[in-house]
Amino acid sequence: MTPDFAFPLATAMTAPNEPGRASALLFAHGTMTLRYYAPRGHDAQTPHDQDEIYVVASGSGTFECDGVRKPFVAGDALFVAAGIDHRFLDFTEDFGTWVIFYGATGGEASAEERSEP
C-alpha cells in the first residue's frame, strides 16, 4: 500500500490535537513529523527539541523568535532552531500553520557550526 503523500488543508484544519499536545499529527517519516497548529487566543508553546519550519496556512500576526518580532501572513515560511524561545503574537482568529519538525534532538548544526573536511 502506498503511504500518504498528500495532506489537504481542509483535513488538517479538522484533525484532532493529540492528547497533551497543542497540534495535530498528520504524518511521520523518520525524524520528520508534519503537524497542524492553530492556537486560539494565546500561543503558550515552549521551545522544542527539534528544528522546525512553520508554513502559515491562514491568518496573519506577529512571530517572535529569540526576542525578534516579525509580521507574518498566509504563505510565509518561518524557521526556528531547536531550543529557541518562540511564539505567535497578535494573530487573527483564522490563524493556522503547518509545522514540520525534523532532524536530531538538539537540532542540526548551522552552516557556521559545521566543520569543513
* Per-residue pLDDT tens over the stretch 72-92: 999 999 999 999 999 999 999
- pTM, two decimal places: 0.89
CB 78 within 8 A of CB 117: no
pLDDT (tens digit, 9 = 90+) per residue, 3-60? 678 999 999 999 999 999 999 999 999 999 999 999 999 999 999 999 999 999 999 9
Domain of 49, CATH number, reads 2.60.120.10
Within a domain: residue 69? yes
With respect to residue 13, please indicate whether it lies within any of the assigned structural domains: no
Query: Cα 54–57–61 angle (5° rounding)?
Result: 75
Number of structural domains the chain divides into: 1
pLDDT of residue 113: 64
Query: Which residue is listed with cell 497543542?
Result: 22
> What pLDDT score was predicted for residue 4?
79
Q: Is the CB of residue 40 less than 8 Å from the CB of residue 94? A: no
Per-residue pLDDT band at 117 (split at 50, 70, 90)? low
Task: Domain of residue 85: give its range.
Answer: 21-102
| Residue 61 counted as domain residue | yes
51, amino acid identity: D
Interatomic CA distance for residues 104 and 90, integer angstroms: 31
* Residue 63 within a domain: yes
